[in-house]
Amino acid sequence: MAFLRRSRPRRSQNEDAATDFAEGLEFTERLTTTLDPTSAASEAYRSLRTNLLYSVIDKNMKAIVVTSPGQAEGKSTTCANLGVVLAQAAKNTLVIDCDLRKPVIHKIFGLRNTKGMMSVLAEGYSLQEVRAEPEEGLTVLPVGPVPLNPAEVLSSQRFSEFLASVREEFDYVLIDASPIGLVSDPAIIATQGDGVLLVLDAQKTRKGAIRQARRTLDAVGANVLGIVVNNINVDEESYYYGYGYK
């Protein structure tokens, strides 16, 4: 099976460098668990880690899908920071960017996206050849070349076999998926993962979007472990991540 790739308009090298630098600063600032480990947000991520570990204890749940009802609701930021704090707790953790339409995990970790998961699936690279290890115990796998047909990639036998192999190698596999309210990709991944974290933005996510996301996940039999609510304004000077589990 051939996975075609999207092309994008050509830019000059100077334009590429300027754009990548600006985007890099914007996204790397989201990795608060590394940049400011004593902050309230970092502590909330550690609490999320604790809740997650206790919720999956003795259940052999390794592959956790992270998605959201819509765009820009913090799913990738949550996935990245949760990966960091799991690694800090001596859990051998892999973060996979499976948002094949708008990948940002590589930007959050300050990585290049020239090779990644698609290089493994379509070009014969090994995981060891394309992965990055930004921190001890943490492996990050970007998307690599963005495919033209994301749903076909994620429903392929190659992806299933790849996910099965990394489940054997790592304690936890965090999968950053596309927003579930926009495309079918997250529902496809959810059928192959052990559980799903649904990330919401307290200021922008609508109740109707949450209900629709839950209906979509329930329809495919996904195991929704809980809901992570970010961007909660407790008072004028505080900002933190909240979380809730069923």
Q: What pLDDT is attached to residue 15?
A: 44
Is 7's pLDDT higher than 80? no
Q: What is the pLDDT of residues 36-70, one digit of tens each?
A: 999 999 999 999 999 999 887 767 889 999 999 99
Q: Which two tokens stand for residue 159?
A: 């992806």
Helix/strand/coil for 5: strand
d(CA 187, CA 22) in angstroms, rounded, equals 32
Nearest to 153 by CA among 100, 105, 190: 100
Contact 92, 121 (CB under 8 A): no
Mean pLDDT value of segment 155-162 = 96
Helix axes 75-88, 40-56, angle to 10 degrees: 80
Q: What pLDDT is attached to residue 233?
A: 74
Residue 215: how many CB atoms within 10 A of its CB? 9
- CA of 109: how far to CAs of 20, 74, 90, 165, 167, in Å? 13, 15, 19, 24, 22
What is the pTM assigned to this prediction? Answer: 0.86
Residue 207: how many CB atoms within 10 A of its CB? 9
Q: Which two tokens stand for residue 207?
A: 């109740």
Task: Give strand pairing partners of 175.
Answer: 65, 96
Mean pLDDT value of segment 5-15 = 44
Is 135's pLDDT higher than 80? yes
Task: Give strand pairing partners of 147.
Answer: 5
The DSSP secondary-structure symbol of 74 reads: S
d(CA 95, CA 224) in angstroms, rounded, equals 19
Q: What pLDDT is attached to residue 96?
A: 98
More confident residue, 112 or 26: 112
CATH 3.40.50.300 holds for 13-245? yes
- CA of 33: how far to CAs of 83, 124, 175, 233, in Å? 10, 34, 18, 19
User: Where along the chain do its domains lie?
Assistant: 13-245
Q: What pLDDT is attached to residue 28?
A: 77
Q: What is the pLDDT of residues 186-226, one digit of tens each?
A: 999 999 999 999 999 999 999 999 999 999 999 999 999 99
